[in-house]
Chains A and B, each alone.
Chain A
Amino acid sequence: MSEDPLTSSTFAERARVQLAKPFLREAVPRATDIAVRDLRERFAGHDYDGLRELGREIRARTMADLEDALATLTDALVANGIHVHHAADAAAAREHIRRICRESDATRVVKVKSMATEEIALNPALVADGLEVTETDLGEYVVQLDGDRPSHIIAPIIHKTRAEVRETLSRVAGRELPDDASELTDFARERLRDAFMDADVGISGANFGVAETGTIVLVTNEGNGRMCTSMPRIHIALMGIERVIPTLEDLSVMLPLITGAGTGQLITSYVSMLSGPRGEGEPDGPEAMHVVLLDNGRRALLGTEYQEVLHCIRCGACQNVCPVYRQVGGHAYGWVYGGPIGAVLTPLFLGTEAGGELPQASSLCGACDDICPVKIPLHDLLLQLRRTRVDDGAAPWRERLAAELWAWAWSSPRRYRVVTRIGGGVVRVMAAAGLMSSLGPLGRWARGRTIPTPARRPFHSRGERDV
């Protein structure tokens, strides 16, 4: 992962690579359809929209005074005996975590799946320090063994076939494992059990941080989150500052939203609510607990037109319904967050230089808005990012010229008529001759689509004659 795909290739190039994988184009829609179907099933007879509105209100109220919520959270965490660290950016967060590992003489680290740790590229830094790092979510474990990246927020190996997983795990086993998902899982379970038992430090993200009680909430199905926070002597939770929610009562709204939108479950198998290190008289648990609060570009979004993206609870639902993501998968987006949320977050976090073209990778159909459990107006944010890119002069000159010409031609009825007549005629002739693909940039656009042949007489001129 030494080369950053975001700066060394374009979205179109990456998408082309992904589109050439037949399994991806079959597996991603299949898997994401199941999640969406289960969501609808679990909420049948319930007012999902009403609950989304409650979720939106909680998030909006919190973001309106995020500093206040964070101060309450910090006080409560400290009162619970938790060490709190503030990280302005990815480097600072890595440094906190490396220091904690160093000071606790750690050699082995186990990890819970966490997008925040992906965001700060934590693993390579820890490995460089000589630490043995093991991802313990089954999918993340396979991703790590392959030197790959997760391609979906919730389902990291959505892009891999069972045969590929078998190949990877067989390599670790040193023997051919059976081609059976259950037996492959059993093998990983035994391997990872060793890792849990031997680890000095468990590192997790945080699905939520409850301010009033100083509680870090982890939502998992496999149980690895709970193992990582039970067995090692140190627990470090890396939490994006926007993941704070004010009260436990708010959790009874946010939990069904994140599990419903994420996996279509009423509740996940495990929900851990962690409020400190091992207490007096408790049989197990870590000696010390640390929370690293990660800013990394989040505070800068407060008070801007993009503030609502901070409402995101990383459920992956927008990826599940996005017609672009469903075809190209997560890797085409080039960084840790894919799909509509990735197309918004990437340019905001990394700058338009690197991720500026991602908002173009959207049909603006709005399916993401309709499913988002906290009603983030993703497609408005995508449009706003496009607008900013054009205003900044970052759009390619050809694109700008085309838009200028378009605006000029269509802003007078006469020019509009002339252009549609000529344009329609050209397209009709070219399409009939099968020459659409030789139309330069228009041809590239036409290659992936069926272009309808324009009518001989435009609709408006037919109207004129009949009047």
Chain B
Amino acid sequence: MSDRTQLWRMAPTELAPHEDALTRFQAELERAGGSSVSVGPGELVGEITATLAAAGAHRIALTADLGDARPVIAQALEIARYDVVDYDAIADDRAAVRDLDATVTGCLAAVAATGSIVTGATGAGRAGALVAPTHVCVVETRRLVDGLASLMRLAPRLGAGSMMALQTGPSRTADIEKTLIVGVHGPKRVHVVLLDGVLAD
């Protein structure tokens, strides 16, 4: 008989005892084709701006799960001459959604063992983290959970709304002769900013 308390011995989607969550998260995300960096509260806006500049993005949507930090980030991006909108304000406008170069979102949780971020319909929306070629996700380090089992235990209390989604690195396909191509229907670039602090001004 198998014992579920020993799930980490069986499933690579769990963290081993004493394994460092942050280190594992960053390694798995990189393996999946994404990138990440750890910052303090004072460096957050600078890191987001730099990432968007490097991606050549101009039209940016910010989602509601950035919380109190959203207006602060919006203001900084506007000063840097980006075209910034709230995702919830334009979500019903298909043309506007299509024109987005990048979205910046928060998240409900992040899974260390798999390098996944978790967003909900209430915050980032169903497609807020998906529609633009570049996705920047702010993850407060306190939101890291060990593995899938911890996430599933927590899920009913996350307030995700009608959809909870895990996403791990960029969108990918290997349909054509098994050649790995990044960026099909979802983003080509996924950058996670790990914030050692909380999203507030």
Contacts and interface: CB of A to CB of B under 8 A. Distances in A.
Given A165-B176, A181-B179, A249-B153, A267 B114 contact: yes
B13 A252 contact: yes
Contacts of B6: 50
How large, as a class, is the contact surface on chain A? 35 or more
B47 to A, nearest CB: 23
Nearest to B151: A252
B164 A273 contact: yes
A50 B171 contact: no
A273 B13 contact: no
Given A57-B2, A267-B168, A282-B161, A193 B122 contact: no
B152 A251 contact: yes
Contacts of B169: 269
Interface in B118-170: 121-122, 125-128, 130-131, 147-149, 151-153, 155-156, 160-170
B152 A223 contact: no
Interface stretch (B37-45, B74-82, B84-92, B191-199): B84-92
B64 interface: yes
Contacts, number: 228
Given A48-B10, A266-B12, A267-B168, A221 B173 contact: yes
Contacts of A285: 121, 125-126, 162-163
Contact of A136 (B156, B161, B168, B185): B185
Contact of B148 (A198, A256, A278): A256
Interface residues of B, number: 65
Contact of A284 (B14, B128, B149): B128
B7 interface: yes
Contacts of A224: 184-185
A363 B151 CA distance: 42
Contact of A253 (B11, B97, B163, B178): B11
A279 B159 CA distance: 12
Nearest to A46: B12
Interface in A159-174: 160-162, 165
A162 B176 CA distance: 6
A271 B172 CA distance: 13
A377 interface: no
A267 B13 CA distance: 8
A31 interface: yes
B116 interface: yes
Nearest to B87: A283
A34 B177 CA distance: 11
A189 B185 contact: yes
Interface stretch (A225-233, A301-309, A419-427): A225-233
A248 B156 contact: yes
A252 B7 contact: yes
A269 B168 contact: yes
Query: Among B116, B128, B162, which residue has the most Cβ atoms of chain A within 10 A?
Result: B162
Interface string B1-39: 010101101111110000000000000100010000000
B130 A54 contact: no
A264 B201 CA distance: 42
Nearest to A143: B175
Given A189-B183, A189-B185, A273-B164, A252 B127 contact: no
Nearest to B86: A283
Contacts of A34: 178
Contacts of B13: 252, 255-256, 266-267
Interface string A245-288: 00011011101100010010011111111111111011111000
A273 B165 contact: yes
Nearest to B178: A31
A414 B116 CA distance: 69
B186 A270 contact: yes
Query: Among A43, A181, A274, which residue has the most Cβ atoms of chain B within 10 A?
Result: A181
A51 B149 CA distance: 13
Given A185-B184, A283-B88, A284-B128, A137 B163 contact: no
Nearest to B33: A269
A284 B184 contact: no
Given A46-B9, A282-B161, A284-B91, A252 B152 contact: yes
A279 B148 contact: no
Contacts of B128: 283-284
Given A162-B176, A269-B167, A274 B12 contact: no
B11 A230 contact: no
Contacts of B163: 229-230, 272-275, 285
Contact of A227 (B94, B130, B151): B130
A225 to B, nearest CB: 9
B158 to A, nearest CB: 11
A327 B102 CA distance: 44
A281 B88 CA distance: 9
Contacts of B50: none
A366 B60 CA distance: 53
A193 B171 CA distance: 14
A165 B14 CA distance: 39
Contacts of A263: 174
29 contacts: A30-B178, A50-B2, A50-B6, A51-B7, A54-B7, A80-B162, A138-B175, A155-B175, A157-B175, A161-B177, A181-B177, A181-B179, A192-B185, A198-B94, A222-B173, A223-B185, A226-B165, A227-B131, A229-B126, A229-B163, A230-B126, A248-B155, A249-B152, A269-B167, A271-B166, A272-B165, A275-B162, A283-B64, A283-B87
Q: What are the 4 tightest A-B residue pairs by CB atom distance, in nearest-first order?
A: A223-B186, A230-B126, A139-B175, A283-B88
Given A266-B114, A279-B162, 12 more contacts: A54-B7, A155-B174, A161-B177, A222-B185, A223-B130, A251-B148, A269-B32, A270-B171, A281-B161, A283-B128, A284-B125, A285-B163
Interface of A: 27, 30-31, 34, 42-43, 45-48, 50-51, 53-54, 57, 80, 136-139, 142, 155-157, 160-162, 165, 181-182, 184-185, 188-189, 192-193, 196-198, 213, 221-224, 226-227, 229-231, 248-249, 251-253, 255-256, 260, 263, 266-279, 281-285
